[in-house]
Amino acid sequence: MRKLIGLSCLSYLVIGMAHVVAGAVLEPMMSHYGLDYRDGGQFIMNQFLGFLCGVLASPWISRYTGRRNALLMALGVLTAAEAAYSFLLPWGWMLAVAPVAGIGFGMTEAVIGAIIIEFVEDKKASAMTKIETFFGLGALAMPLVAALFIRGSIWQMSFPFVTAMAGLTALLWLTLSFGKADELMANRTKRRHAAIAPGNAPVTRAGYSRATLPFLVLGIIFFAVYVGMEMSFSNYLPSIMIQRTGMDEATGASTISLFWGMIVAGRIFAGRLAERSGYGVFLITAAGAGMMVMFFISMTDNTGLSLFLIGLAGLIWAGVFAIGLVYVNQLIPGMTERTTSLLIAFGGLGGALFPKLTGWLMDRYDAVWALGLMAALTVAMFAIMAAMVLYGRRLTAGVDHKVGQ
């Protein structure tokens, strides 16, 4: 299991890079193609529409091919897409390849997330925040690498860099053995046959109960708003800082690394803090604090204060995604793969739609309007999470075991 978690961490490192590479090189890419922010937003939106398809397809693909084969397929698709980006194809082709890249990192994220939540028995939050830390490391490292390439006037080398990392990870999934954990990578049919062998109780498929559906819907909306806000903020952060503070392109790209660097730092202790305080308390506190920080970011154009608030925002939001997955799954037990896929998928939908809207605001108005949208999204996040915690306590009161409240 330790080797499996280790390779899962590497995989999340790669998809962290894939998530932010477009934002890190957005300014020079738009200059190269003669584009505006609306076109850049379309590129990011296409990636996340592919992400949505990949996440929604992952349970079905895992069922019929096995989780290892699903991961090999996902990482192979990601490698091919990033390799295609490397050739700086005509813009229409770049837009066509973008959903393929999204399918690759979407499937990878969903399959690995389901494995960790379903099969790690103790301290699920710590395990999820550990692999999410590596997602943050990837999202931290990629803008730094991109900034170096931008300074050297070879910004397009960012795409071959991700290609190589994705290909290496796919090769490791293909060749490594996980011992007893290899059974987890078998297809679902084999695991179901094993479950109904003599001495074992048969496994039945169940749907969501009426009591849990409102909580699930709230969770889906929360993930759509949160991921949309986070992707809008991180992808347009360099452009926003260039407009608001006059930074150059390379320095602007490095602000993404500041944001993700603080997310990485926060994820080191976020899991333990959430397990100690309770998942609901952790999430509503993070949502409220993040709302206040985004309000202050939208009100200042001072470089030093902006950098401080960007780092603080990363620290506050560090554990929201991972702890949110665990929180919803604990209150809706027995539906891990489906619930995880739905939450990540609608997060991907938000990650597709809101950056597109942000790009339109950047073009039609300016960075102030884009920041205003993000501030509004954090208000919505806080309200939704408050409703989730209240409803979650009602669900908890209806069962006999403790579920992390």
Helix 67-86, helix 158-175: angle, nearest 10 = 160
Residue 2 pLDDT greater than 80, yes or no: no
Q: What is the pLDDT of residue 402?
A: 44
Q: Angle at CA 155, nearest 5°, toward 41 and 87?
A: 80
Radius of gyration of the chain (CA): 20
pLDDT at 252: 76
**Predicted local confidence at residue 53, as pLDDT:** 87
b or e along 68-103 (b: 16 or more beta carbons within 10 Å of the residue's beta carbon)? bbbbbbbbbbbbbbbbbbbeeeebeebbebbbbbbb
- In this predicted structure, what is the pLDDT of residue 185? 66
pLDDT of 198? 42
Mean pLDDT, the chain, integer: 83
Residue 336 pLDDT: 74
Predicted confidence band of residue 349 (pLDDT cuts 50, 70, 90): confident
Question: In whole angstroms, what is the distance from residue 280 CA to residue 277 CA?
Answer: 8
Q: How confident is the model at residue 181 (pLDDT cuts 50, 70, 90)?
A: low
What's the whole-model pTM score? 0.74
Query: Residues 6 or more apart from 276 whose CB is under 8 A from it?
Result: none
- Residue 23 to residue 79: CA distance in whole angstroms: 18
Task: Select the more confidently predicted residue: 219 or 144.
Answer: 219
Choose among 75, 128, 84, 63: nearest CA to 103.
75
| Average pLDDT of the residues in 9-31 | 87
Q: Is the alpha carbon torsion for 105, 9, 2, 272 positive or negative?
A: negative
Give the tens place of pLDDT for each residue, 210-266.
Answer: 888 999 999 999 999 999 998 888 878 888 888 887 777 767 777 877 887 888 888
Tell me the per-residue pLDDT of 25-84, one tens digit each, with 9 for 90 and over. Answer: 888 898 899 888 778 878 877 887 888 888 888 888 888 888 888 999 999 999 999 999
Poorest-pLDDT segment among 39-43, 172-176, 187-191, 228-232 = 187-191
Out of 45-49, 88-92, 294-298, which region has the weakest mean confidence (pLDDT)? 45-49
Question: Mean of the pLDDT values across residues 269-276?
Answer: 85
Selected residue with higher pLDDT from 18 and 300 = 18
Alpha carbon 322 to its chain centroid, in Å, reads 9
Among residues 347, 290, 353, 278, the alpha carbon closest in space to that of 316 is found at: 290
